[in-house]
Amino acid sequence: MADKLVAMQENGGRVKLADFYTSYLDKGVPYFQERPEYLRQSGALDESDPSVPRVIIPNYLVTPLNCQNVSSYYDLCCIDLCEDMFEELEMRLKAPQAKPAEILKILTIVPSAYAPAGRTWTDSLTKKLGEVAEHHGGEVPLHGRLFAQWMHFAYPLECPYPHLSGATRPQTKSEWFDETGMPSSATQTEMRDIIGALRNPSESASCGESEEGMCMWHPEEELVDAVNWKAPVIM
């Protein structure tokens, strides 16, 4: 499933919703049928450009919709590939925060599932990480929403986009049906209607002017331990 999504992606780890449905309707892919409402509630839909909604690949893969119930004790779900990078940072830094240069130095030498070691960082990503540090007095908290957001744009195929708390409510397909009375999958007719509407949008609101395509960048922070967090004092 991941390989098929990556093959369809645009830059930024996203697949146009129209392409998502077309892969099922015309190319024989046995999945990618979820209706937009379900994708939206699951946090897997990027609607920053309303005329071209896109499925966010890592968010789609790690939501409960792709988990398999294999026993009465646990479900089998996709691995969050971003955890590998966070583990490297935690092991090497041995601290809950770090300066942007330290973070970039470590991530430069650590390969990810889709990015080789030795990558170079764009000015936009470097600037955004600096803004996160500035927000916190000079260092970046590793376990906050802003850094997780930066990681998503730095590793769009590995790291899920961190929605604000309460903005999404991931559910299994059965939970969704029990609550809404609707199947999580759209019918073929519904999918073709959506594709047709997207080819002839009534309005267009492009986010192309956003840095690095960071249309969903939101400057609000949420910390894992906000009570005990103390911004470092810059001497």
Q: What is the pLDDT of residue 92?
A: 97
Residue 196 lies in a domain: yes
Cα separation, 179 vs 210, whole angstroms: 37
Residue 107 lies in a domain: yes
Specify the length of the chain in residues.
Answer: 235
- In order of 36, 122, 187, 200, 201, the CA distances from 194 in angstroms are 9, 35, 11, 10, 10
> Sign of the CA dihedral 195, 197, 201, 206?
negative
pLDDT in tens, the chain (235 residues): 999 999 999 878 999 999 999 999 999 899 999 999 999 999 999 999 989 999 999 999 999 988 888 888 988 999 999 999 999 999 999 999 999 999 999 999 999 999 999 999 999 999 999 999 999 999 999 999 999 999 999 999 999 999 999 999 999 899 999 999 999 999 999 999 999 998 766 555 556 545 667 889 999 999 987 766 765 555 4
Residue 25 lies in a domain: yes
**How are beta strands 75-76 and 54-56 bridged, if at all?**
unpaired
Q: What is the pLDDT of residue 10?
A: 84
Residues 73 and 183 in one domain: yes
Residue 227 lies in a domain: no
Residues 148 and 116 in one domain: yes
b/e map of 160-176 (b: 16 or more CB within 10 Å)?
bbbbeeeebebbbbeeb
Residues 89 and 142 in one domain: yes
Residues 66 and 88 in one domain: no
Angle subtended at Cα 44 by Cα 77 and Cα 158, rounded to the nearest 5 degrees: 60
Residue 185 lies in a domain: yes
Show the domain range for 137: 82-159
Residues 89 and 154 in one domain: yes
Residues with Cβ within 8 Å of residue 152, at least 6 apart in sequence = 13, 58, 82, 159, 160, 161, 162
Pick from 129, 159, 189: which residue ends a domain?
A: 159
Pick from 96, 127, 159: which residue ends a domain?
A: 159
Quick one: tokens of 89?
Answer: 């940072």
Residue 121 lies in a domain: yes
Cα separation, 45 vs 53, whole angstroms: 7
> Sign of the CA dihedral 54, 58, 61, 62?
negative
Q: How many structural domains are present in the chain?
A: 2
Residue 150 lies in a domain: yes
Residues 70 and 94 in one domain: no
Cα separation, 174 vs 224, whole angstroms: 30
Quick one: tokens of 157?
Answer: 């195929």
Residues 104 and 137 in one domain: yes
Residues 27 and 65 in one domain: yes
Residues 155 and 194 in one domain: no
Q: What is the pLDDT of residue 208?
A: 52
pTM over 0.75: yes
Q: What is the pLDDT of residue 211?
A: 65
Residues 132 and 187 in one domain: no
Q: What is the pLDDT of residue 188?
A: 96
Residues 31 and 71 in one domain: yes
Q: Residue 112 has what DSSP assignment? A: -
Residues 190 and 149 in one domain: no
Quick one: tokens of 169?
Answer: 């409510």
